[in-house]
């Protein structure tokens, strides 16, 4: 098992290194100007040289995306609880959650900028808006898909509405909620970076990854721009793995999805 995993990891790393090497060679052999395509080595050097601003930008974006995501989890669960109460409410309001998903965020970014001003709050709001829909949809599904016999079991013990909600529907919805958070976490990071392109900074020269990317491109600092792109990717991965860990932590004892396959 472990040996196979190490081989897989080794192979993946080899491919990655080969691509970097090829990239480096192409840049050297064809003498590509560094503002068009910097070599991997140049990217690494630029990243190292401006590591503290790279880190600051990453942390800022992480805060915005994380804040937006957290808010969308809280708001999404509350809205889902409301939706789960009646089919009628669902039918009436569900189309509007699809609206949340389909509205082009770049189109409403200027509005948000106008309403709350540029800066962290505006970006977090954008991340919140676009990560809300998957949370609502998945949590609602989890809340209403409780087996009928389980509801009957609770009714036979004269369970109150609160008991039905907190001891049956909510715990039953947790795995679905995590599916929603996992999807939303990716969108929240992308949303924060996109938001920063429009509303990223209240002060010139300071901002998150999206803002810094825009700034670096205007200054033709393509090597640093690439370093920022790498940082954005790493940030996306970090969010994803953090959610995976939380999901494992809360579900591994009882849920089928977290079951470790038995060794043959």
Residues contributing to the site for another protein (CB under 8 A): 147, 149-150, 152-159, 163, 167-168, 171-172, 174, 253-256, 259
> Contact, 139 vs 80, CB < 8 A?
yes
Q: Show the tokens assigned to 193.
A: 């970076």
Of 86 and 257, which has the nearer Cβ to another protein? 257
Q: Minimum CB separation from another protein for residue 10, in Å?
A: 35
Q: Minimum CB separation from another protein for residue 54, in Å?
A: 42
Separation of alpha carbons 194 and 191, rounded Å: 5
Q: Minimum CB separation from another protein for residue 161, in Å?
A: 12
3-state secondary structure of 206: strand
Of 256 and 264, which has the nearer Cβ to another protein? 256
Of 91 and 167, which has the nearer Cβ to another protein? 167
Measured from the Cβ of residue 88, the count of other Cβ atoms closer than 10 Å reads: 8
Separation of alpha carbons 180 and 71, rounded Å: 13
Q: Minimum CB separation from another protein for residue 149, in Å?
A: 5
Q: Minimum CB separation from another protein for residue 153, in Å?
A: 5
Separation of alpha carbons 162 and 51, rounded Å: 51
Q: Minimum CB separation from another protein for residue 255, in Å?
A: 7
Of 237 and 254, which has the nearer Cβ to another protein? 254
Of 92 and 147, which has the nearer Cβ to another protein? 147
Of 3 and 157, which has the nearer Cβ to another protein? 157
Separation of alpha carbons 171 and 114, rounded Å: 40
Separation of alpha carbons 100 and 79, rounded Å: 13
Of 5 and 157, which has the nearer Cβ to another protein? 157
DSSP β-bridge partners for residue 63:
none
Q: Minimum CB separation from another protein for residue 55, in Å?
A: 39
3-state secondary structure of 264: coil
Distant-in-sequence contacts of 201-207, Cβ < 8 A, 24+ apart: 201/118, 201/119, 202/117, 202/118, 202/119, 207/57, 207/60
Of 90 and 255, which has the nearer Cβ to another protein? 255
CA 127 centroid distance within chain: 9
Q: Minimum CB separation from another protein for residue 165, in Å?
A: 13
End-to-end CA distance of the chain: 11
What is the torsion angle, in degrees rounded to the nearest 10, for the CA atoms of residue 11, residue 227, residue 59 and residue 73? -60
Q: Show the tokens assigned to 117.
A: 């001003």
């Amino acid at each position: 098992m472990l040996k196979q995993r190490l081989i897989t990891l080794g192979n993946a790393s080899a491919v990655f290194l080969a691509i970097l090497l090829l990239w480096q060679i192409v840049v050297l052999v064809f003498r590509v100007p560094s503002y068009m395509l910097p070599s991997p080595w140049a990217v690494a050097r630029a990243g190292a040289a401006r590591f503290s601003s790279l880190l600051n930008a990453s942390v800022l974006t992480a805060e915005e995306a994380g804040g937006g995501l957290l808010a969308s989890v809280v708001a999404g669960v509350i809205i889902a609880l409301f939706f789960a109460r009646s089919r009628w409410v669902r039918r009436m309001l569900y189309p509007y959650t699809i609206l949340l998903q389909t509205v082009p965020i770049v189109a409403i970014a200027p509005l948000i900028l106008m309403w709350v001003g540029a800066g962290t709050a505006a970006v977090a709001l954008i991340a919140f808006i676009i990560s809300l829909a998957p949370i609502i949809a998945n949590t609602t599904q989890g809340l209403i898909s409780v087996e009928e016999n389980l509801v009957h079991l609770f009714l036979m013990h004269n369970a109150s509405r609160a008991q039905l909600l907190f001891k049956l529907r909510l715990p039953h919805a947790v795995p679905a909620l995590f599916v929603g958070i996992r999807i939303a976490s990716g969108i929240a990071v992308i949303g924060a970076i996109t938001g920063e392109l429009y509303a990223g900074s209240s002060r010139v020269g300071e901002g998150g990854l999206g803002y810094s990317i825009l700034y670096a491109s205007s200054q033709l600092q393509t090597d640093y721009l690439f370093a920022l792109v790498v940082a954005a990717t790493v940030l996306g991965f970090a969010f994803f793995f953090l959610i995976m860990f939380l999901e494992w932590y809360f579900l591994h004892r009882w849920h089928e999805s977290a079951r470790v396959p038995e060794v043959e």
